[in-house]
Structure 1
Amino acid sequence: MSLPLAPSYDVVVVGSGPTGSTYVREVFERRPDARILLLEAGPKLGDPPGGHVKNIDGDEPRARAQRASEGPAPAAPGRPGTRLLGTPDLPAAAISTNVGGMGAHWTAACPRPGDSERIPCVPDAEMDRHLTRAEELLHVTSHAFDRAPFADVVRQRLAARFDAGRPVSRRVAPMPLAVTTRPDGTHAWSGTDVILGPAAADPRVELADTCLCLRVLHDAGTVTGVAVRDLNSGRETTVTAAAVVVAADALRTPQVLHASGIRPAALGRYLNDQPQIVHAVRLPDDVVAAHDEVTGRTREDDGGIVPQSGVSWVPFTDEHPFHGQVMQLDASPVALADEDTVRPGSIVGLGWFCAKDLDPEDRVTFSDTETDAFGMPRIGIRYRCTDRDLATIEAARNAVAEAGAALGDPLGGEPFLLPAGSSLHYQGTTRMGPADDGTSVCDSHSRVWGTEGLWVAGNGVIPTATACNPTLTSVALASRGAHALAEQLPRRTVATAAPTAG
């Protein structure tokens, strides 16, 4: 889109990923008088905007969409649709810049947090209501792969190893996934098009792609609007707003606030990546022979994961502070002998994510003299593993090895630790808290301390050490924040005239 935009909106949301889109949808539904601008620095990838790239038909169109998401810096090896940030302490840190954000590329895993992953400053009953709402917005189901061959035996073997002493909610189970099974048996993966729903086509909501938010504008402690650059023309403008939500991910949300001169003491601190251990095994021949239920579908039919693919979950507990994601594959991740025949679902990939010690010195930093490819303050990262982290990683490595031994024969050697940043689950940099005491950026409704009318959203607001995939939690917190925003938003703050097309 080219500027100009309309001169004013009720709400401006910066970032079109899952949480920014949640704010749009919730305010849209709760405040029919509000006009909303959704700003995105990246391009639209297809129709509908914000759709998951797995839903794009054909390898080449899908690859073009992924390349368009990578932005001006080098792509991340092995991570189509992302680009490397380029920081030594977190060498695999990567981001996407496109309509839908990482929601166009994610694995769609939506487990609920448990035990100490829960948010202390949000009442449990209220958090559960918003988690349920997040599941509705994302179209989450645990039954997408009920027909997957070998999935039952995989879960039975994992349960025999891990379920003893766990409450029912923390036992081995199918992974909840943001995916819809179509009538023909194929799958549609949830992107932010699913979250936006009817808001995407309503004239009260305007999506401006390739438009970078340079700064949040504020005066005397109150938000007044945003400064925007059209990345196609280079033209800059300002728009006024009663409320601004910055949902630009856990690395770039604090970047926008820093560039705006809004710098709470905890901004960028408590950065939390999840150390990730991976392993692969092959189910024994006797198990495959006894449970041979191949449907004949191919990987291409379902955009990457097929009914032969089961996705199982070994939940986090405080006693076992890691989260297991177990995926059955239709191909081996390591080279096999030419004479080997891989039965779909018989190769099992195991990924264990670890909860990390929270340290205010693990942080994102911003240069006041150097800029990135978009002209924003250059990001740096300081990140270290503590002795306790190293012990957790070793325990997770042992747990993965035990899970692999329970399932079958190892492939490709022992479980190994991926480079720091590989999880893509960055959190904590705009964390919420119960009080403005210098250890949090926002309150439990995601309102930034000391700046009236400013909200933050995304995985960055999560204040706890988590191991589970964070998207469901951050969407739930966004739903909660959006309800507060809708209640506080002044009635009819702008005219109803449509914006000028450009």
Structure 2
Amino acid sequence: MLSTIVVTSALKGAIGLVGTGLWLVPLLIAGLSYYHYDQLDPESRPINRYPLDREYDFVVVGGGSAGAVVASRLSEIGHWRILLLEAGPDENEITDVPSLAAYLQLTKLDWKYKTEPTGRACLGMKGGRCNWPRGKVLGGSSVLNYMLYVRGNRMDYEHWEALGNKGWGYEQALHYFKKSEDNRNPYLARSPYHGTGGYLTVQESPWRTPLVVAFVQAGVEMGYENRDINGEHQTGFMIAQGTIRRGSRCSTAKAFLRPVRLRKNLHTAMNAHVTRIVVDRGTMRATGVEFTRDGRKQTVRARKEVVLSAGSINSAQLLMLSGIGPREHLEELNVPVIRDLRVGDNLQDHVGMAGLTFLVDKPVAIVQSRFQAAPMTMQYVVNGRGPMTTLGGVEGYAFVNTKFANETGAHPDIQFHMAPASINSDAGVQVRKVLGITDELYDTVYRPIANRDAWTIIPLLLRPRSRGTVRLQSSNPFQSPKIDANYFDDPRDMTTLVEGAKIAVKVSQARVFRQFGSRIHRTKIPGCKHLKFGSDKYWECHIRHISMTIYHPVGTAKMGPADDPTAVVDPRLRVYGVKGLRVIDASIMPTITSGNTNAPVIMIAEKGADLIKQDWNEFKIYSSTFQ
């Protein structure tokens, strides 16, 4: 039931965060299994189907943040037969624990990607390469992420529509955000910007530290509002909302697949690694997919469409493996070209700055030695409460404007993630693994503050100008693709992020933090010791060394109108020049949204499923407002 690798990695996290000993491992597993699933979450798991039929109406590739939604919604049409193929296994008890999010990385549930070294970023990581975790599990990256529910900015979607993508404006996007949502925050119950009764549960963690309250108050002190950042306006500070349900992770698999698991027309196949989309060259139609399962190569046909929902990395890889991509690149690898499209271009990510830490004198952070292991663990497994419900350790977020943001202040250019946690020796091992940082960097920056009360802000760049690429390393479908994040290729990205770091420091200096004796951890990082601490040049050096992905790669199968030579899919998400093939996931974003991308991906999947229903004349209740 629990893979050895996942349990080992995740329990290291449990030990590091809440101070458990190895003797408590059986209690944690048994408690989660018995109390959490049997009593509090009676929905059963999706059925891993054996054997599969030879033909379905729709074959959905990838059971992640988008694919789980698409498959669930398409199966609402009773006479359609749907197959969902996922390369990874099912979730397990440990993946449900919100505080253990980081400890799922580098396990068998992660594709374990790394970026190519550029010399401009990730300098403090081994080999100059950043780790890029991606979910290889039913539920995809919604199982590995920090569960933060952020929709982005109204202007993001208005820009998409202005680029020629009809039907992708804010009002249409809001319709689908609300359709998915079951928001359980009482103060948002009557908000016109939120929905209830949807599949996806959204609420705050039931536990928080005083530091996050101070963080929000500090924002108000600086002139920002404490507001619902998913509401009318985005700029401001807020205690984080997340995709959690009764204190546990609410992945898209849990939200969208478990409730429909008994539908006869929906088959789910796990550990099914798709290697190629089958395209009939005569008709230029996608007719099915090839995949490997249990060591055996198989083919399944799609009567109507193949829907690619494998994410920004894997969707681009699969398209290129199938002959759909940049001609010059495919010919170089001797991959027969079916359609020359700019697949793999336009890669964008929210690069962030890790390591900005503030020490406090009062016992207000999450420190291992302060908590008794057994009571805390049982508080979580029985009641769904306590520190283990924190969203990967993140308690608050904010959207702020640097001097480079738009004049109205309505489209902020920096986001903050705030986390009130210290590092202990066990967790330190995981920090080094997850970030991939060198031993020297860890020993200099992180080890001196181990087991001390501290908190951190991670500033991230909301709208990077730099663009990266995804390319094949070879025609071998089991070899990881080559990912060039190309961080800071445009120097304006660095200039903006440095300003974000300076604003974060000002937040830490607000009067409200004085009660805790809060002050910045001033130890210089290796490689930057020759620079004045706190200067623009120092922050730039810091950012280049401790660069951090916020796990939001998008854009590699760009949506655009027919006259856009860089577009891969049209505004109805159909691949140009190949019939019966759509892409519905983060890769279709023409520009990255201003904030965490999981909620927008779910929105894209909701809308994409409706587009399919419309195109096949199965959309029974339809308003032209949302075409």
Q: What TM-score, normalized to structure 1?
A: 0.79
- Specify which of 393, 396, 399 is matched with residue 312 of structure 1: 396
Paired position in structure 2 for 1:426: 553
- Does structure 1 conserve the Cα–Cα contact (< 8 Å) formed by 2:97 and 2:389? no
- Specify which of 133, 136, 141 is matched with residue 179 of structure 2: 133
Q: Which amino acid aligns with 1:227?
A: E
Residue 66 of structure 1 and its aligned partner are, at CA, apart by 6.7
Deviation digits for residues 303-327 of structure 1 (CA, Å, limit 9, x no counterpart): 8744797721212654441111112
Residue 111 of structure 1 and its aligned partner are, at CA, apart by 1.1
Paired position in structure 2 for 1:111: 150
- Specify which of 142, 160, 177 is matched with residue 120 of structure 1: 160
Residue 401 of structure 1 and its aligned partner are, at CA, apart by 1.9
Paired position in structure 2 for 1:174: 239
- Does structure 2 conserve the Cα–Cα contact (< 8 Å) formed by 1:277 and 1:400? no
Deviation digits for residues 251-274 of structure 1 (CA, Å, limit 9, x no counterpart): 110111111122353311111021
Paired position in structure 1 for 2:564: 437
C-alpha distance 129-272 of structure 1, shift in aligned 2 (>3 A):
same
Q: Which amino acid aligns with 1:269?
A: D
- Specify which of 102, 105, 108 is matched with residue 68 of structure 1: 108
Q: Which amino acid aligns with 1:351?
A: I
- Specify which of 216, 230, 234 is matched with residue 277 of structure 2: 216
Give the SS at the match of 1:272.
coil
Q: Which amino acid aligns with 2:286?
A: V
Q: Which amino acid aligns with 2:241?
A: P
Paired position in structure 1 for 2:459: 352
- Specify which of 326, 333, 342 is matched with residue 266 of structure 1: 342
- Does structure 2 conserve the Cα–Cα contact (< 8 Å) formed by 1:216 and 1:223? yes
* Greater strand proportion: 1
Q: 1:201 aligned to 2:262?
A: yes
Paired position in structure 1 for 2:40: none
Bigger CA drift: 386-395 or 304-313? 304-313
Paired position in structure 2 for 1:410: 520
Q: Distance in 1 between matches of 2:491 and 2:595?
A: 21
Q: Which amino acid aligns with 1:272?
A: Q
Q: Which amino acid aligns with 1:68?
A: K
- Does structure 1 conserve the Cα–Cα contact (< 8 Å) formed by 2:176 and 2:603? yes
Bigger CA drift: 171-180 or 220-229? 220-229
Paired position in structure 1 for 2:432: none
Pairwise mapping of residues 452-467 of structure 1 onto structure 2 (< 5 A)?
452-467=579-594
Residue 355 of structure 1 and its aligned partner are, at CA, apart by 2.8
Paired position in structure 2 for 1:388: 492
Q: Distance in 2 between matches of 1:337 and 1:313?
A: 23
Q: Which amino acid aligns with 1:144?
A: S
- Specify which of 219, 222, 235 is matched with residue 158 of structure 1: 219
Give the SS at the match of 1:172.
strand
Deviation digits for residues 215-234 of structure 1 (CA, Å, limit 9, x no counterpart): 2222323222112222x223
C-alpha distance 421-430 of structure 1, shift in aligned 2 (>3 A):
farther
Q: Distance in 1 between matches of 2:224 and 2:550?
A: 25
Q: Which amino acid aligns with 2:471?
A: T
Residue 471 of structure 1 and its aligned partner are, at CA, apart by 0.7
Residue 110 of structure 1 and its aligned partner are, at CA, apart by 1.1
Residue 380 of structure 1 and its aligned partner are, at CA, apart by 4.6
Q: Distance in 2 between matches of 1:193 and 1:162?
A: 39
- Does structure 2 conserve the Cα–Cα contact (< 8 Å) formed by 1:363 and 1:429? yes
- Does structure 2 conserve the Cα–Cα contact (< 8 Å) formed by 1:298 and 1:306? no
Pairwise mapping of residues 322-361 of structure 1 onto structure 2 (< 5 A)?
322-329=414-421, 334-335=446-447, 342=453, 347-358=454-465
- Does structure 2 conserve the Cα–Cα contact (< 8 Å) formed by 1:242 and 1:490? no
Q: Distance in 1 between matches of 2:413 and 2:220?
A: 17
- Does structure 2 conserve the Cα–Cα contact (< 8 Å) formed by 1:316 and 1:468? no
- Does structure 2 conserve the Cα–Cα contact (< 8 Å) formed by 1:145 and 1:310? no
Q: 1:255 aligned to 2:331?
A: no
Paired position in structure 2 for 1:192: 253
Paired position in structure 1 for 2:139: 100
Q: Distance in 2 between matches of 1:363 and 1:215?
A: 20
Residue 194 of structure 1 and its aligned partner are, at CA, apart by 1.6
Residue 210 of structure 1 and its aligned partner are, at CA, apart by 1.5
Paired position in structure 1 for 2:443: none
- Does structure 2 conserve the Cα–Cα contact (< 8 Å) formed by 1:134 and 1:479? yes
Residue 140 of structure 1 and its aligned partner are, at CA, apart by 4.2
Paired position in structure 2 for 1:243: 305
Q: Distance in 1 between matches of 2:460 and 2:199?
A: 22
Paired position in structure 1 for 2:471: 365
- Does structure 1 conserve the Cα–Cα contact (< 8 Å) formed by 2:309 and 2:585? yes
Q: Distance in 2 between matches of 1:384 and 1:192?
A: 32
Paired position in structure 2 for 1:399: 503
Q: Distance in 1 between matches of 2:546 and 2:483?
A: 17
Q: Which amino acid aligns with 1:251?
A: I
Residue 277 of structure 1 and its aligned partner are, at CA, apart by 1.2
Q: Which amino acid aligns with 1:245?
A: V
- Specify which of 46, 64, 77 is matched with residue 92 of structure 2: 46
Paired position in structure 1 for 2:34: none
Give the SS at the match of 1:11.
strand
- Does structure 2 conserve the Cα–Cα contact (< 8 Å) formed by 1:162 and 1:172? no
- Does structure 2 conserve the Cα–Cα contact (< 8 Å) formed by 1:222 and 1:452? yes
Paired position in structure 2 for 1:79: none
Q: Distance in 1 between matches of 2:146 and 2:486?
A: 25
Bigger CA drift: 146-155 or 461-470? 146-155
Q: Distance in 1 between matches of 2:55 and 2:464?
A: 43
C-alpha distance 168-127 of structure 1, shift in aligned 2 (>3 A):
closer
Q: Distance in 1 between matches of 2:507 and 2:359?
A: 12
RMSD of aligned Cα (Å)? 3.6
- Does structure 2 conserve the Cα–Cα contact (< 8 Å) formed by 1:18 and 1:101? yes
Q: Distance in 2 between matches of 1:4 and 1:357?
A: 46
Deviation digits for residues 364-404 of structure 1 (CA, Å, limit 9, x no counterpart): 1124x4536x258x435362521111211211221222222
Q: What TM-score, normalized to structure 2?
A: 0.64
Deviation digits for residues 396-435 of structure 1 (CA, Å, limit 9, x no counterpart): 2212222223342224647743655622211111121234
Residue 39 of structure 1 and its aligned partner are, at CA, apart by 0.5
Bigger CA drift: 98-107 or 347-356? 347-356
Deviation digits for residues 44-80 of structure 1 (CA, Å, limit 9, x no counterpart): 3437xxxx703499x9xx979973324xxxxxxxxxx
Residue 101 of structure 1 and its aligned partner are, at CA, apart by 1.6
Residue 179 of structure 1 and its aligned partner are, at CA, apart by 0.6
Paired position in structure 2 for 1:225: 288
